[in-house]
Amino acid sequence: MSRGDLPMRERLPDRVSIVEVGPRDGLQAERVTVPTGAKVDFIERLLAAGHTVIEATSFVSAAAVPQLADAAELLARIPWKPEVRYPVLVPNERGLERALAAGVREIAVFVSASESYSRRNLQRSRADALVMCTPVVSRAKAAGLRVRGYLSMVFADPWDGPTPVGTVVATGRSLLELGCDELSLGDTIGIGTAAHVQRLITAYAAAGVPPSALAVHFHDTYGQGLANVLAALELGVTTIDTSAGGLGGSAFAPGAAGNLATEDLVWMLDGLGIETGVNVRKAAAAGAWMCQQLGREPAGRVTRALSPVL
Ligand code: MG
């Protein structure tokens, strides 16, 4: 298909980077704790599907997230390759020290754009969460690490209602000013529509943050995930967070469905002739396999559609 065949294709990129967040963001929200060996197997399946950015685990406290208490052991067992990035979530300086000791080359820090989710999920105000991130990001950058900044609840919060765009932009800019290389905008409860997405990305651009500094992280609660991705791609964002099988949710946000499924995203991008390097059937099979370990049905539509042949 030539680019001129579809009016929308002219406005879309030729290549998209997928950040596969299933092993961390997905598994931390599942009730079942998966054995380390199965996590290694999952990551190997994701690599075989063509993924080159896999959020592997988290160094939050084992008491808060027991599902990922084996972070150091997992990182010692997964295959490290020069072309593959394994960002890990780090909540504080103690987590950073554990991550550095495990040899990580990329971390992700997180704050909430809304006040109530910050207090419930992070047990501190949004302002205090930014203060806590400051030494983590500066020490990570000094150690030569790449740093992603996650911003949660960018459209609304279950307790506070809509998150003001100005607050979202200011909080996200603070993360970038601390030194984050990339800002991932998380619609943690999946409430946003394409209009919300374009308003926010346009507001960031007006504040001097280009779409190349942004990633989008959608949850598919209301079935808006793919439409929201398309809205972001149209405005120049080319990094998308998804999870195989649509794993995940938020243990701290009632009603939040899982992440947009990787295989659903790749199916759409394949159809548009946009390269990802990820094989849709293998990505779907990896998600289906992990869902089997968890004893749950895959949330991704493509996995369900393909399941007779996977
Ligand atoms: Mg998520």
Could you tell me the residue ranges of all domains in the chain?
Answer: 3-309
Fold of 3-309: TIM Barrel (3.20.20)
- Predicted local confidence at residue 248, as pLDDT: 87
- Predicted local confidence at residue 44, as pLDDT: 98
Amino acid present at 183 = L
pTM of the model: 0.96
C-alpha 215 – ligand 1 centre gap (Å): 12
C-alpha 256 – ligand 1 centre gap (Å): 9
C-alpha 156 – ligand 1 centre gap (Å): 14
C-alpha 306 – ligand 1 centre gap (Å): 24
C-alpha 121 – ligand 1 centre gap (Å): 13
**CA–CA separation, 104 and 58 (whole Å):** 11
C-alpha 21 – ligand 1 centre gap (Å): 7
C-alpha 150 – ligand 1 centre gap (Å): 10
- Predicted local confidence at residue 84, as pLDDT: 98
**Which residue ranges of the chain lie beneath pLDDT 50?**
none
- Predicted local confidence at residue 297, as pLDDT: 87
C-alpha 248 – ligand 1 centre gap (Å): 6
Residues 122 and 111: beta-carbon distance below 8 Å: yes
Give, as residue ranges, everything with CB less than 5 Å from ion ligand 1. Answer: 25, 259
C-alpha 36 – ligand 1 centre gap (Å): 21
Cβ within 8 Å of residue 237, ≥6 positions away: 201, 211, 214, 215, 216
**CA–CA separation, 2 and 60 (whole Å):** 47
**CA–CA separation, 197 and 222 (whole Å):** 14
Burial class (CB in 10 A: 0-12, 13-18, 19+), 65: buried
